Amino acid sequence: MCEILPHYAVDRAIRAGYGQQYASAATRLGHVKQGKVAHLPDLVALVEAAMPEYAIPVHLRPSETPQLQP
């Protein structure tokens, strides 16, 4: 999944309000996008923000994944 995320995925996730819990949201989400950090809730947030047409089935979502604000 990380390979097909567009270059603007991190920016869109931050603009959608995700990552506020991190001191450096752009760095953290950038590492998740690059595959340096494995954190499924962050990856789900990136996919939802950058690729809204890609539907992630509910049964594959981690229970603690925050929903992005529309």
For the residues 17-44, what does the mean pLDDT come to? 87
Q: What pLDDT, on a 0 to 100 scale, did the predictor assign at position 9?
A: 92
Residue 66 pLDDT exceeds 70: no
pLDDT band at residue 57 under the 50/70/90 scheme: confident
* Average pLDDT over the chain, rounded to an integer: 84
Residue ranges of the domains in the chain? 2-60
pLDDT band at residue 20 under the 50/70/90 scheme: confident
Distance CA 41, CA 6 (A): 18
Provide the terminal-to-terminal Cα distance of the chain, rounded to the nearest Å: 22
Q: What pLDDT, on a 0 to 100 scale, did the predictor assign at position 50?
A: 92
